[in-house]
Homo-oligomer: A and B are copies of this chain.
Amino acid sequence: MFLSTYENKLDSKGRVSVPASFRSHLSSLGYNSVVCYPSFTTTAIEFCPQSRIEKLSDTIDTLNPFEENRDVFATSVLADSFQLNFDPEGRIILPEKLLDHSGIKDRVVFVGQGKTFQMWEPNKFFKFRDDARKKAKSLRSDLKWSQSANKEREEK
């Protein structure tokens, strides 16, 4: 599993160390590389084991070759993905496209998500996290309200 949050630096060659615990998990799955793509909804970069993308590729492959959506999905997902190999020290180099998408310059935050992880430009991540907490908070109070409303309804 990919757990917890780390912050590392990009060096002058654009290399960045992937946290050792993330690497060892990938290694336990048999990989010396990782696949990544720009998030559809945020400025984050999404990372996953290659097997996950391979399954996606297999699914797309089962679509009828004439199916219009086949190309749409292949292009919008696979074409925008990258396989990044670790150097002997466990570093990767981020493609220019992903640096642009994420706004990453000299520092990176790694965010464990269980089966996947993300990379963020630090300030963008902290803001995203704070917003997410606020939303969760208001959702919780909404939930409480509706629960108590239901409870009251039952009592009557």
Contacts and interface: CB of A to CB of B under 8 A. Distances in A.
A34 to B, nearest CB: 12
Interface residues of A, number: 64
Majority secondary structure of chain A interface residues (helix, strand, loop or mixed): helix
Nearest to A148: B59
A113 interface: yes
A114 B75 contact: no
B3 A75 contact: no
A87 interface: no
Interface of A: 1-5, 21, 35, 40-42, 50-63, 66, 68-69, 71-83, 95, 111-116, 128-129, 132-133, 135-137, 139-140, 143-145, 148-149, 152-153, 156
